Amino acid sequence: MPSTSFSLQTDRGLLADIQIWSDAATEQPNVDPHLDFVCVAYHERIPLFLVSNGPFDVYSEHVETENYFYESLVCLSEAVGILAKSLLEGTDTYFVFYLDQKALPRVRCYYIDFSVRQQVAEFREKASKIGDQDVFFISKTLGSAGRSDTSVFDRVLGTKASKIPGPVSAPQPPVAGTLALTTSQQISQAVSRVVLSGLRLRGLSTNPQSSANDKLAIREIYHMTNKAANFALRKYSYEFNERARQAPPADHVGGHPGHSGGVARDLCRRG
């Protein structure tokens, strides 16, 4: 682990062997190894935007240095730290030494760079040109209107839209089927089946327990209905009819026997 040794000039004299350790991922700034004591400061109140690097662990094998940090940091409040300035010309870098008690009590330090105050002054100068706007939220290009990045929202809305099922088309109305009845014999057989089925649905079917009169009445209803239905369907066989030689629709084959059967049943009841 790389380390750098510093010395600190205080009112007690020069304190040597102040070792600041850092890992490879945390690079220390290039500063003068000689530091000058400035004051005791409350390190917790230092603005974060001034912190440039750290924190680093601080060690020493010098007895006077150990005693100084023990009396100045360990024996005082945890919020109290030591502010020291680098003597390197052309820099405005300071060291803040403080006591960290989160894990084990140990002395640590971090760097602050007061050169950022110049940037703050530039922000204030720009703020005077833009009125009451917050200087920490002005656009990078002065005078240009900021444009919000909506790509994330567009991507989320696009994903939701792709998951929404499309409109369900309304089911097509059922098309009335047609019977392939092209001959009079086929029409007659179809009518006969429809008539028998209609009689059974109305309870007009013969059985061994039926009386002779009931059997006769049912037989008469059947013949009357059959003849009436066949007569009604003859129009599909006339040459002068526009629908001649066409298969009769299914609703016609079933509708005529049903209507004729009702009429025949009423006639038999009256008789």
Give the pLDDT confidence score for residue 138 in this predicted structure: 54
Confidence of residue 90 (pLDDT cuts 50, 70, 90): confident
Bond into 55 cis (ω within 30): yes
Give the residue with greater pLDDT, 115 vs 239. Answer: 115
Give the pLDDT confidence score for residue 51 in this predicted structure: 84
For 230-268, the DSSP string reads HHHGGGGG-TTSTTTTPPPBHHHHHHHHHHHHHHHHHHH
Average of pLDDT values for 93-111?
Answer: 85
Give the residue with greater pLDDT, 78 vs 12. Answer: 12
82: three-class secondary structure by DSSP: strand
Give the residue with greater pLDDT, 244 vs 69. Answer: 69
pTM here? 0.44
Q: Is the pLDDT of residue 176 over 50?
A: no
What is the four-CA torsion angle of 247, 256, 195, 199, rounded to 10 degrees? Answer: 150
Per residue in 12-42, pLDDT tens? 899 999 998 877 656 666 777 889 999 998 8
Q: Which amino acid is at 186?
A: Q
Per residue in 186-225, pLDDT tens? 777 777 777 777 777 666 666 666 777 777 777 787 788 7
Fold of 3-116: Ku70; Chain: A; Domain 2 (2.40.290)
Confidence of residue 178 (pLDDT cuts 50, 70, 90): very low
> Domain extents for the chain?
3-116, 184-270
Confidence of residue 179 (pLDDT cuts 50, 70, 90): very low
